[in-house]
Chains A and B, each alone.
Chain A
Amino acid sequence: MKPIKPNDMMLQTLARLIILVVLSFSIYLLLAGHNNPGGGFIGGLMTSSAILILYVAFDMKTIKKAIPIDFVKIIGIGLLFASLTGVVSMLFGYPYLKQFFDYFTIPILGEVELTTALPFDLGVYFVVVGSALTIILTIAEDDK
């Protein structure tokens, strides 16, 4: 079957709008994870579905040009993030992966809780985004 060139104006126009909403919501999910439903895994899945919508609405080449990221590398970066945050606590004599948190007052935002769990979750987020996109794109690109 020959690939059909997507030329769906409705979808393409909507996609541009939807992406913004979905992406911002996914980042909200990532940050909110500690106290509300959300977290790295869910945020990562949502980000990947947002990017996937782009791939469905437009053709592969256009998106590859627009987002010139090697998603396999994103996985590596994510793993590094997750494993290195654990090492930080070791430097202070605590066991591996011990997490810390405290409350800070930042202008405009007011009192904010900062945790070392966030960079860890960010690592998970990257791994999920990288993996989901790599798997799906590898399968999709395969035309044999």
Chain B
Amino acid sequence: MSLLHWAVLSPFLVAILIPFLYKYMKRIHTGWFVLLLPFALFIYFLTFLPVTSSGETILEVLPWVPSLGINFSVYLDGLSLLFVLLITGIGALVVLYSIYYLAKGKERLHNFYVYLLMFMGAMLGVVLSDNLIVVYVFWEVTSIASSLLISYWYSREKSIYGAQKSMYITVFGGLSMLGGFSLLYVITGTFSIRELVANADLIITSGLFLPAMILVLLGAFTKSAQFPFHIWLPDAMEAPTPVSAYLHSATMVKAGIYLVARLTGVFGGTPEWFWIITIAGLTTLLWGSVSAVRQKDLKGILAFSTVSQLGLIMSLLGVGSAAFYFQDGDNALYKTAILAAVFHLINHATFKGSLFMAVGIIDHETGTRDIRKLGGLMTIMPVTATISLVGLASMAGLPPFNGFLSKELFFTGMLNVLDYGIFHLETFGLIIPIVAWVASVFTFLYCLIMFFRTFTGKFDISKLKVKHVHEAPVGMLISPVVLGLLVIIIGLFPGILAYSIIAPAISAILPGILAAGEQFDVHIYHWHGFQPELWMTIGVIILGVLLFLTFRKWENSAFYRGERDLFNYGYDYGYDGLIKGSQWLTRIQMTGRLRDYFIYMCAFIILLMGYTMYRYNLPDIGSLDLSPIPPFMWLIFIVFISSVVVIPFLQNRVAVIVVTGVTGFIVALFFVIFRAPDLALTQLLVETVTVILFMLVFYHLPKLQKEKTAIGIKLVKLLIAGGFGLMMTIISLSAFSLGQEANFPSIAEFFIENSKEEAGGYNVVNVILVDFRGLDTMLEALVVAIATLSVISLIKLRFKGREDV
């Protein structure tokens, strides 16, 4: 294990300590201990900047299940490093912010920080693994951690609803993605992303290409809240605000984008990949920005805005994937889109992070996030207002902030599509920049609404639940101020990032486009001259302001009054239908009567075995070389069979128990005759314990009633019972005869020979149990333990009335 492996696992290790720190260091806010880790990791990963910016990569392999091609290999290149720095950097700021946001003593901090660290480790694992199966495992852990964090205030109904929704949607996507990964393995025989990229031609020409791609994209789209799976993200806003800032805007929702970027080298260059991602991204962008305008909750606006910005980045990755079609090196025509995607990814994390934190402050101090109740906070919270102004101006795409730069690049990238001349773009290409522009108008509009409705206008304390409103404490302001400063610094000096982070990330997204040693040319300007991009921005500003000024006109329209996303109805109906459908299905077969379950099992075994025998021309009972049966055996057989046959006709419960016991003891007798003392002993003891159990529960049992079932049903049961017995007889005879004919050596010989030498025991049965097949025994013990726990829960926790599950 290398240091990089430990870095990925360190959050999990620290998470183990958190409950103890929380319990025994009550006087110090647990967050201070947690803060050290992301901070240290951030510094540690910064030291890799020179490595990746010189175009090198690091690969550390740790075999996990090498026989299945599953290795925990850590791969660090420009793209991973960008994400790792976001995860640890924003992580440190969010933890700092949370220390002031979540009050010590009132909140269950140990839960919060354990989940947060679990998420951090998993997210590091996702972006640093080269192996798809490892990516998948960490991917699902992020879903679980996210869901746990959304339901952090689990007594609120909406939190549980949001947590469930995010879990169902992202896990559905995760499982599809696993299917896609498996298909990729079927095609290429490897789970390693680097090897997949090397075998990209094999994948693209394969018949499984489209299914594999769609399944993988389902995972990416559900995680990155792409249309129509975006509905989970607004409901995820029930999480504490630090979580929203961290998971649901800066990092986790970008896992899907990471995956698409990472696999561009595998699928890129095909029209399917280009169109699916571009269309999904643009639809999400437009839908998200229009929906954001309708929101009245500040976090709701930010949630839909995140959805829309994720769509923006996604569409850029789709457009940029055309680079693999042309394969002509560093061509600005395709590169600009990827450059814009990487640059906007960073910018979005900075401005959206600061905005979420600002909204958290407003919520914390005023007790509400409803823009209809807020207003006039500019003079009361000057610092928060400034942070919001910077963040919103950047998001709206105004100079000189970083959002302006990436928005201009975004327009350039979208306009470049017109010059591609492939994939039917000459016909449909114009739609792409138009949609991008319309969506930007709405983005501008909701930024205006958010700022002016919160910070200007009349301040009315009577609408709020709190008595005094004041600026947040300094500690709470540090993190948003740092992010706000980054917005300005990156905006003024984008060159800082150009060759240190952005260029290596582009090379990682577009592997093999450049010859070894070359580097992508990254120049980000404020002023391009009077190009179409500039006119588009000016158009956005004019139209956005016009729409805002006419706000009173459309304020009462049906469009603005409703705010629930239409797709939620689909989810809710689907969810209810699923529950009702499964209840219906369960009720049909789960009668609660043991004999019905026996019928299912026996009938199924008869059908399955019967079909197999018919299909493969079995059974083949040829010569049976049997030893003679001595007379005393016949006697035992007769007693045994008659005792079994008699049981159904008995009317007295004690008699039933006694006769059942007789059959058990006769079985033990058989074991003795066939010289199996261990089995005989076990059988005897089981019988004994069963008898004691019967004695204990005897008087709880209801009176034995005469069965009143129709003769037809009885016959069917008889048929199934008889058929099952017959089936078992045929199987054992056939197995015996086959073994004799083929002259298979008995497996017992191996154990008898090796028992003494290998394990030092003469009792072969026990040596098999504890040594040769130790794992089986251990897991059987586990099964016994689980069965016991279920007996406890069935009896002690059973329903009192007629509640339904």
Contact = CB atoms under 8 A, between A and B. Distances in A.
B276 interface: no
A34 B767 contact: yes
B689 A79 contact: no
Nearest to A130: B788
Given A56-B695, A79-B782, A138 B766 contact: no
Nearest to B690: A136
B478 interface: no
Interface string B779-796: 001101101110110011
Interface stretch (B387-395, B598-606, B756-764): B756-764
Contacts of A23: none
Nearest to A125: B781
A131 B784 contact: yes
Contact of A82 (B759, B763, B781, B788): B781
A27 interface: no
Contact of B681 (A42, A53, A96): A42
A7 interface: no
- Chain B interface mostly helix, strand, loop or mixed? helix
Interface in A121-144: 121, 123-124, 127-128, 130-132, 134-136, 138-140, 142-143
B677 interface: yes
Interface string A5-40: 000000000000000000000000100011111111
B206 to A, nearest CB: 37
B65 to A, nearest CB: 14
B781 A124 contact: yes
Given A36-B762, A101-B760, A117-B771, A135 B788 contact: yes
A139 B689 contact: no
Contact of B774 (A78, A86, A127): A86
B685 A45 contact: yes
A76 B784 CA distance: 11
Contacts of B729: none
A30 B209 CA distance: 58
A88 interface: no
Interface stretch (B557-565, B613-621, B628-636, B696-704): B696-704
B678 A35 contact: no
B380 interface: no
- Chain A interface mostly helix, strand, loop or mixed? helix
Contacts of B766: 33-34, 38-39, 121
B103 interface: no
A142 B762 contact: no
Interface residues of B, number: 41
Contacts of B732: none
Contact of B760 (A34, A38, A135): A34
Interface string A44-79: 011011001101100000000000000010011011
Contact of B788 (A49, A72, A143): A72
B710 interface: no
Contacts of A113: 760
B770 A39 contact: yes
A46 B696 CA distance: 18
Nearest to B787: A131
Interface in A86-142: 86, 96-97, 99, 101-102, 113, 115, 117, 120-121, 123-124, 127-128, 130-132, 134-136, 138-140, 142
Given A72-B792, A86-B778, A134-B788, A49 B685 contact: yes
Contacts of B781: 78-79, 82, 123-124, 127-128
Contacts of A75: 784-785, 788
B791 A138 contact: yes
Interface of A: 1, 3, 29, 33-42, 45-46, 48-49, 52-53, 55-56, 72, 75-76, 78-79, 82-83, 86, 96-97, 99, 101-102, 113, 115, 117, 120-121, 123-124, 127-128, 130-132, 134-136, 138-140, 142-143
Given A56-B695, A82-B781, A134-B788, 11 more contacts: A3-B699, A42-B682, A56-B692, A99-B774, A115-B760, A121-B769, A128-B781, A131-B784, A134-B792, A139-B697, A139-B795
21 contacts: A34-B760, A36-B763, A39-B678, A42-B681, A52-B692, A72-B792, A75-B784, A78-B781, A83-B778, A97-B778, A99-B774, A117-B759, A117-B767, A117-B771, A120-B770, A120-B778, A121-B766, A127-B785, A132-B689, A134-B792, A135-B788
